[in-house]
Chain A
């Protein structure tokens, strides 16, 4: 039983004269517990695919079924709640609310899910410890390095126990030490908690860490290998 199932996804951007086929007949299935990289050259459609899987964007045609729910049928409002309760997001940057501390940032999603304060705080602290930031919980994003900020984002994405985590180029702005550190943490969480990760990247070192690599080119799946 796959947790992410896409069927003949296409996405066409119609900007006047030229039509861009950002995605062309993409069908994939991702099972729980996978650690999958979406790779491909710039413009190949990685971001478009992740955005559509995450319900941030809608396909021109095709279906996306997340754990049994056809999200193409959800209204905008339902989609927001669906994202809140089922999907963890890590973006390339601007992941955190600058005026909140690391712990408050991690608590934010649980807060919107109406967890009570005590549970929220305990869980946030726990998650920050598990990404190696147990001693930075009261710092603001501006007082953290780029790598640390991405780790806070990972902690936030996982804190409320989503079905899977989507990360669009999470290491793009990081140096190699921070990159491998973040990958260690993600792989660890994947191994220990069984959290499903789908992430896009350009970086060969990141690709090497993935257990499944889906390669896109011009919006089509070029290869899909599991190691």
Chain B
């Protein structure tokens, strides 16, 4: 019956309870939506970084990471290839020969990281080929083609089919050079990457360096983000001589951003809940104040402290728990709906591109978060109920009934 009384008490002042319930629902709804927006933004940033440049896992000769000179190839490349082919969780991989050199045109010479790749294999791992603004991802049959970033093309003042000269040191430290024709120009979200990266066919680069079958880097995709860590461990065990790094190791700031985002979001939700909590406290204090005589009467006829306290706590929890699920449901519905459509922020967010994401945001939230928020709402409700419940206990029956 205590439950019945508390429940009915919630509806005694419909307007006031309604306002509180609406505030809770709206607060949680807004909180969830902002969370989902941030998570979506962050995930898009991470996904785009992974798909254009990072891939899931990279393999190197540890020496190459310290000193990126040509001689620090991945040892026993054939074995490495076999290991990767044998692992069912490795969806695709690409090998790269990377040398640092200079790209020059009549406009001058600029430092460049030159990637010798197999265009087809590369396309299965990264999506640079989808970022071409002009030209092709290498044309069939033609030799000495280069695909460069838009920023580099600007600096070199070259266009499609222009010739540029690439020169760099070979294994012995001798300078070698080759003339390449621009086959394509790409533009990713990172202008720094576009300024310093060029792709050529592995075969052409091998020819200049005279090192067939060698490579410095392997980039691979696993069957899903959840597989990255286990596959990393497997590869580490199978290839003890290599440095095996997951995308988070290669670009730790992305991982930090993930963690920081989570912490920030919980702080954000806590702030919202705190504000709501004060609203709840205020409302319930008013209710307790209004009911001074009734509470005094109940205590007079023998309602003990535990029951009095529980009655107010239960009422507060009811009040909070009506709004909670409504807010969570609304939030979930909005997020799912907007997720399916995408939220076009191009009008307000010109800077989004520089963050590494497109102008269209797809909000998303893990289902676990909804659950955590539900728990937090309950905790907040119970905390908020303590003050009014204590207030109710402070009434002295004789004084409370005297005013009758």
Contact = CB atoms under 8 A, between A and B. Distances in A.
Contacts of A95: 297
Contacts of A100: 1, 4-5, 8
Nearest to A111: B1
A93 interface: yes
B89 interface: no
Interface in A28-79: 47, 51, 54, 56-57, 77
Contacts of A92: 404
Q: What size tier do the contact residues of chain A reach?
A: 20 to 34
Given A80-B305, A108-B1, A97 B300 contact: no
Interface in A96-122: 97-100, 104, 107-109, 111-112
B379 to A, nearest CB: 27
Given A91-B401, A94-B293, A99-B12, A85 B302 contact: yes
Given A56-B398, A77-B305, A108-B1, A94 B404 contact: yes
A10 to B, nearest CB: 16
Contacts of B293: 94
Interface string A132-173: 000000000000000000000000110000000000100000
Contact of B5 (A84, A99, A109): A99
Contacts of B1: 100, 104, 107-108, 111
Given A94-B293, A111-B1, A47 B305 contact: no
Given A56-B397, A97-B5, A109 B301 contact: yes
Contacts of A111: 1
A106 to B, nearest CB: 12
Contact of A97 (B298, B299, B401): B298
A112 B307 contact: yes
A197 to B, nearest CB: 16
A164 to B, nearest CB: 14
Contact of B294 (A56, A77, A94, A156): A94
Interface of B: 1, 4-5, 8-9, 12, 293-294, 297-305, 307, 397-398, 401-402, 404
28 contacts: A51-B401, A51-B402, A56-B300, A56-B397, A56-B398, A57-B398, A77-B304, A77-B305, A81-B302, A83-B300, A84-B304, A85-B302, A89-B297, A93-B404, A94-B293, A94-B404, A97-B5, A97-B294, A97-B298, A99-B5, A100-B4, A104-B1, A104-B4, A107-B1, A109-B301, A111-B1, A112-B303, A168-B401
